[in-house]
Amino acid sequence: MGFLNRLPFTENAATEPPRSPNRFHRAAQITSYDVPVTALIELRGLSVEIPTPAGWIRPVNDVSFTLGAGESLGLVGESGSGKSMLALALMGLLPPGARVGGEALFSGVNGAAGPRVNLLSLPERERIAVRGRDIAMIFQEPMTALNPVIRVGAQIAEAIRAHHAGLSREEVDRRVLVALERAAVPEPAMRARQYPHQLSGGLRQRAMIAMALAGDNGKVPRLLIADEPTTALDVTVQKQILELLARLRRELGLALLFITHDLGVVAQVADRIAVTYAGRIVEEGPAREVLERSRHPYTAGLLRASPQLVRQKLEPIPGAVPSLTALPPGCAFEPRCQLRVAECALALPELREAGPEHRARCILVAENRSEVAK
């Protein structure tokens, strides 16, 4: 790249201005943006099957939801609940041998709303074109996602050239700097010359965001998938990354699928929340509704296990997520549920209406009982 050769190499580590962390995990702090919402992507019965030595498992099982243009959906659950596998299915990055079913209807191909295409049935060449141009993804640990022996600017340039092979070196250099500036990277020309290990954790994640948004000149992907983007960061830097994603969403109008296990984090960025367990959605609704009036015992358990200023003692959920090779015949959460009744073990509950735009997969909802106590 041009500027990589023209500017001297530096080993100065990145520094970031300290900010006061905010871990007050109450629904009152949910941020909602006044943006027009039209359907951007609709999942219909999305399922993923993976071969294992013990047989086929289904880490994503009959998942359906709609994400609107400019909207933010938080996908929440413990490790092993299928969140990341769902994101990889949308990106076309599933491991070899995986089988995928259902539909993922997307209307943002080539940056313009129009006829919807099923991402899951696109030929590989078309999927590659969509990936990075129309749908982008940032990962949990940027140090493993970035190539440690290639300078940051060169890696962003590679993403740009993947969709624009005919650009001049000067134009690629310019777009790299624009992408870094958009991601609020200080001194972008210097950071572009550095290797990933020379950046702080927060700046590495900003570089990943820059790479995700380095599409057409003046255009950005319409859907950004953020897979646990703040888990490896301390709370101060975590807050900065959340603020950056919120600003980008407001200014660029992109839709955000935010994957996390932390309800406190998702409360700061999501309009709606979908809680997953053992590959299925067990509760879905407006963020305030889900956090203030949770109707599934698993959601209530996650809330009790989340640090809050108003509660000193954390209450972990007993037991562990069941093995996908030996799921119980009824509700998958039944063995860990303190509110279970005999019927819970007999059949899988359906997602039932629990309020305005609020659904839960629980027999308590079917029996019209009061909300789950927190």
The pLDDT of residue 14 is 33
Specify the domain boundaries for CATH 3.40.50.300 within the chain: 2-9+37-270
Beta strands in 219-314 (DSSP E): 223-227, 255-260, 272-277, 280-286
d(CA 193, CA 5): 9
Specify the pLDDT at position 310.
56
| Residue numbers in the chain where pLDDT is lower than 50 | 1-37, 309, 370, 373-374
Residue 47: predicted pLDDT: 97
Q: What is the pTM of this model?
A: 0.84
At 318-338, the pLDDT tens digits run: 988 889 998 989 999 999 999
String of b and e for 289-303 (b: at least 16 CB within 10 Å)?
A: bbbebbbbbbbbbbb
Predicted confidence at residue 189, as pLDDT, reads 94
CA dihedral over 33, 275, 285, 256, signed as positive or negative: positive
Return the number of other C-beta atoms located less than 10 Å from residue 50's C-beta: 16
What's the token pair of residue 345? 């073990």
pLDDT, residue 311, reads: 55
In this structure, are residues 211 and 155 in contact, taking their beta carbons and an 8 Å threshold? yes
Q: What distance in Å separates the CA atoms of residue 195 and residue 146, rounded to the nearest whole number?
A: 9
pLDDT at 252: 86
Say if residue 141 is exposed, middle or buried (CB neighbours under 10 Å; 0-12, 13-18, 19+).
middle
Burial classification of residue 253, based on how many CB atoms lie within 10 Å of its CB (0-12 exposed, 13-18 middle, 19 or more buried): middle
Hey, CA dihedral for 229, 234, 240, 246, is it positive or negative? positive
Could you tell me if 49 and 55 are in contact, meaning their C-beta atoms sit under 8 angstroms apart? no
- Spatial CB neighbours of 345, under 8 Å, sequence gap ≥ 6: 328, 329, 330, 331, 334
Q: Which one is the CATH code of 2-9+37-270: 3.40.50.1170, 3.40.50.300, 3.60.150.10, 3.50.50.60?
A: 3.40.50.300
Report the SS3 class of residue 150.
coil
Task: Calculate the alpha carbon distances from 235 to 21, 201, 231 in Å.
Answer: 6, 12, 9
